[in-house]
Amino acid sequence: MSVLAFDIGAGSGRALLADVKDDRLEMKEIHRFDNTPIQIGKRLHWDVYRLFLEIKRGIAEAKKTGEALEALAIDTWAVDFGLLGKDGELLRAPYHYRDHHTDGVMEDCHKNKVSKKDIFDKTGIQFLPFNTIYQLQAMSNTGSPLLNEAVDLLLMPDLLRYFLTGQKKTEFTNATTTQLFNPKTMEWDEDLVKAAGVTKDIFQDIALPGTIIGELSKEVCEELDVDPIPVIAAGEHDTASAVAGIPALDQDFAYVSCGTWSLMGTEVQDAVINDKAFQWNFTNEGGVNNTFRLLKNIMGLWILEECKRIWEHDEKAGYKELLQEAEALPSFSFFIDPDDFRFLNPPHMPKEIQQYCEDTDQYVPRTRGEIVKGVLESLALKYRYVFERTQHLAGTPFYGLHMVGGGIKNTVLCQYTSNALAKPVWAGPVEGSAIGNVMVQLMAVGKVEDLAQARLITLKSTNMQYYFPEDEKKWHRAYGRFCDTIGVNNGEDLTV
């Protein structure tokens, strides 16, 4: 008997069969698929119908193995949503969080609806222009007819789960990312829902990770010729699953889930909502087993992926070649702030980086290798900036950093991160979110006792890679220059 995990990221998805035998996790990928958004006119959408088709294909592939399924679960990215009409059907393909319909909306909301401080005090969530609250206000500002027709709002994993089961619930870890959920009351916040231009009626009841939501619908079972498999709410925000999949044995640990986005933080029992967390724009997202993820979003390898996409129009731009070109060059020729909003979705990322350097009176990189090196160095230095503030907010020192996710395949970034932090880095597993998804399911069906046991099993099952700091003084000097360049305070009291 196995469980089936669907781990769907912003670029691709995968289906994995998994079970625990002799305190080891056995996991096998049985289906992989693309998740390319679709541009229609001025709007960028998720192809949610195709994602549902790929989920059904994954279930069919699982059947071919002959393995009986105890449960299945889905994790995806956060904030994006679909709206259902009175007939229970999706009114429109969901917008992609990188779509420009929210441009300027966050600032308008804070000026005319509700202040940043009030929002943070209610939610503890960081300010990002694509948060669900601002997506809804963008629709309200333009008089979208969908808001008049909508009777239900479902976040992305809720929506895919609804397609499978017909049941409507919103899972806790994903609900917290909307900036509409109050972790103190554990309810949707009526004042913020009103500020977004909608009513509380369209939001669903909250389900905690590990809750059995329902079974595959009759229609799905007949189409695929399968039994009515239980569908579980995992940590449906992929970062919540990734954190559940971290092989940490200490209660206090720091992590970065590294991919298109980098999400760095720690696990805490209660949301940290104070002036420093507000000033530094940290977030308190829901976690597995009644925890919170005190963390900060960092733009991540999206910047490098977009550069690679542009370069591939003209010539081969494999990661191996790009990293070799970068490694042969001098260090610290320029810095960028990975979180500058200009890097969110520009038409030409290399030109945007060059323009940033011009605007900040720095050396302007001309070659692919120069850009790659500068981006990776800047990302590692931004990790240090966030790491130090995470320690301060959590009130505990961290003796190293756990790195998980697909980004750890970039060994240069892992080494740079250890150098920047002057601390060891423990890299693994790559499939962190998928493993966390699996572990929540195995806990729900009684095969794994608790999160501590799940993490021990993950450690035993992972081929960890270890990195130790090099050139610490050089990286420390570079960090001072980096902070000056991006305009942040390097002299704050960050004692723990």
The bridge status of strand 2-8 relative to strand 69-75 is: parallel
Q: Which of 7, 80, 238, 339 is catalytic?
A: 238
Angle between helices 302-311 and 368-394 (to 10 degrees): 170
420 close to 378: Cβ distance less than 8 angstroms: no
Q: Which residues contact 86 (CB under 8 A, 6 or more apart)?
A: 149, 151
CA proximity to 209, closest of 245, 253, 180, 165: 245
Known active-site residue 158 = no
> Within 13 Å, how many C-alpha atoms sit on residue 291's CB side?
18
Q: What's the CA gap between 107 and 263, in Å, rounded? A: 24
**410/78 Cα distance (integer angstroms):** 24
Alpha-carbon span 419 to 413, nearest angstrom: 10
Strand 69-75 relative to strand 425-427: parallel, antiparallel, unpaired? Answer: unpaired
The sheet with strand 24-34 has its strands ordered as 24-34, 12-21, 2-8, 69-75, 230-233, 211-215
Q: Residue 388 in contact with residue 482, Cβ under 8 Å?
A: no
CA angle in degrees (0–180, nearest 5) for 319-322-327: 120
The total number of residues written for the chain in this structure: 496
Q: Which residues contact 237 (CB under 8 A, 6 or more apart)?
A: 75, 76, 77, 78, 157, 171, 173, 174, 176, 177, 285, 286
The span from the CA of 445 to the CA of 437, in Å, is 13
485: Cβ–Cβ under 8 A, 6 or more apart, which residues? 335, 337, 360, 362
What DSSP character marks residue 237? B
- Residue linked to tokens 């998804």: 437
d(C-alpha 286, C-alpha 265), whole Å? 12
Active site residues: 238
